[in-house]
A and B are shown apart, each in its own frame.
Chain A
Amino acid sequence: MNVEVKQRSQRWRDIAVALWTSFLAASGASVLCYAFVDPVDLELLRGIDSPFLARMTGYALGFFFFWGVALAACLLTLYLVRTADAASTAAVPPWTQEDR
């Protein structure tokens, strides 16, 4: 397998792992959050008259919010870890490298 193909497949695996770990984190965060917060009390959902629908919407939106935040953190972590080696050369302007 050539290097480019391997890197691409690793990138997809990275995304899959990040999706999964952030899913776990979001599940935990949602449970914890909504044990203490009733979505009906949220200003954001005041427009929804039925408490049933307001809560279902609140739970789902909250879950996806947490998932998104956790996913961003996971992907950023992976990006920083994966590019750590390359960074020493890639993150500085090319003309400064010539002096080394």
Chain B
Amino acid sequence: MPSGTDAATSGTADAGSDSFYVAHQKIYPREISGRFNRLRTITVITLLGLFYLVPWLRWNGRQAVLFDLPARKFYILGLTFWPQDFFLLSWLLIIAALSLFFFTALAGRLWCGYACPQTVWTEVFVWMERLAEGKRSQRMKLDLAPWTVHKVLRKGAKQVLWIGFALWTGYTFVGFFTPIVTLGREILALSLGPWESFWIVFYGFATYGNAGYLREQVCKYMCPYARFQSAMFDHDTLIVSYDRSRGEPRGARARGSDYRAKGLGDCIDCKVCVQACPTGIDIRNGLQYECIACTACIDACDQVMDRMNYPRGLIRYATERSMEGGATRVLRPRILIYGAVLGAFIVGFFLAVGMRNLLGIDVLRDRNALYRVLADGTIENVYTVRLLNKDELAHQLRLSAEGPIGLALDADRDAYTVGGGEVLTIAVRLRMPGPQPGGSHKVVLRATAVDAPQLTRASDTRFISPAG
């Protein structure tokens, strides 16, 4: 168990320090400003802006991004994805994982510090807490104070903000899966379906609990990535580091005093970096797995360095190699391999999307009878055929059958019109003159668009004939 949390849990040092589960002490992150905080604010606004706005965008009269689970179709701008395109989703997840590896190797826990929903929503919840309860010291005092009207009002205001925001988040989340405008109307008319209501409350509650209360504990106890991210690290990975050789020995001193004569380093031991840390660690103890690389300590320390008229960067983004005096190598085998594999998967994904067959054909044999022998001896098999048109436009589809000599297809119509993004289920009969050698013959059913012959899709099936 790393001892990095002793600053945060100093009051409970005896509380099961041999256990993995140290009693939790609430962390009050100190508000700071600075370059990285600005960057993080911009990221938060961009990412949450996307999340809350995207469901409202329209495209050709429908929601632009809609993972329509009830209809089993995913719409992303002009593209429609079907359950049959599932492999594209898995492909996308592989790309996401590889990107995570690539960027982690390059610059550490960028994901955790800037983009993880847990971080992003926690930022907003902390901001609301600050709005209602004030600065760090005020919040600590308020928590210790007895329950007065003032405290009830402050805490109440925070809960109103939190719950309202959490419910809106739940509504937006569900709005990615069922049309958000309809969903809004149903809420206003109090006619919301049971499952939509449930998922809105479920996701809202998860946001409320994770961002409002659990916060850094999610990263410490729940996140699998936090446990294995160090496997992607090497000496050239950018991490938030404390410059020990410059800072130590740390100690208090008067401003402008000749601290070097006293044998002190640049760290004035003000502990602002510890107070700013949302996970409650002391970065000066070196890299710890609790560090989500949020860079709050960099901004905090830079402020102090400015005030002391010392150069910035006592805590900074640096690689272990550069801290040891070496030159950082960016292009190294690990980066090149991650990069190459990632690039290949991205190219492959776009090729797969571009070359995706927009027609689908599912053939099911009739379950009731294997075959039928007609009065003239002809053998007939019946099939149920599902025609899928994944294109935006309607197409006229003509069916044809390929197989043993004499195979003939009997459909009700010459061609079937299937609307854009629609499925048509039809019955089709295949016939062969009898008698045939008994058994099963391979046949291919093919659908071809009359108006666009390059749009064609085939499916294998069997034709069964009686023995003799």
A interface residues with partner B (beta carbon < 8 Å): 1, 6, 9-10, 13, 17, 20, 24, 31, 34-36, 38, 51-53, 55-57, 59-60
CB-CB under 8 A from B70, the residues of chain A are 51-52, 55-56
A20, B21: Cβ atoms closer than 8 Å: no
4 closest A-B pairs by CB: A35-B86, A56-B195, A52-B70, A55-B70
A-B pair number, CB within 8 angstroms? 44
Q: List 20 A-B contacts (CB under 8 A).
A: A1-B14, A1-B15, A1-B23, A9-B23, A13-B21, A13-B221, A17-B222, A24-B224, A35-B89, A36-B86, A38-B72, A52-B70, A52-B71, A53-B193, A55-B69, A55-B72, A56-B193, A56-B196, A59-B195, A60-B195
B19 within 8 Å of A (CB atoms): yes
Chain B interfacial positions (CB closer than 8 Å to A): 14-16, 19, 21, 23, 69-72, 83, 86, 89, 193, 195-196, 198-199, 221-222, 224
Q: With a CB–CB cut-off of 8 A, which chain A residues contact B198?
A: 60
Closest chain B CB from A57 CB (angstroms)? 7
Which of B15, B23, B222: most chain A CB closer than 10 A?
A: B222
Q: How far apart sit A5 and B14, CA to CA, in the bound complex (Å)?
A: 14
Interface secondary structure of A, over-half rule = helix
CA distance A53 to B198 in the complex (A): 13
Cβ B83 vs Cβ A38 within 8 A: yes
Report the nearest B residue to A3, measured CB to CB: B16
**Nearest residue in B to A61 (C-beta to C-beta)?**
B195
Q: Contacts of A24 on B, CB cut-off 8 Å?
A: 224
Evaluate contact between A59 and B69: CB separation under 8 angstroms.
yes
**Apart from A38-B83, A60-B198, what 4 extra A-B contacts exist at CB < 8 Å?**
A13-B21, A35-B86, A36-B83, A55-B72
Report the minimum CB–CB distance from B384 to chain A (whole Å): 13
Chain B residues within an 8 Å CB radius of A57: 195
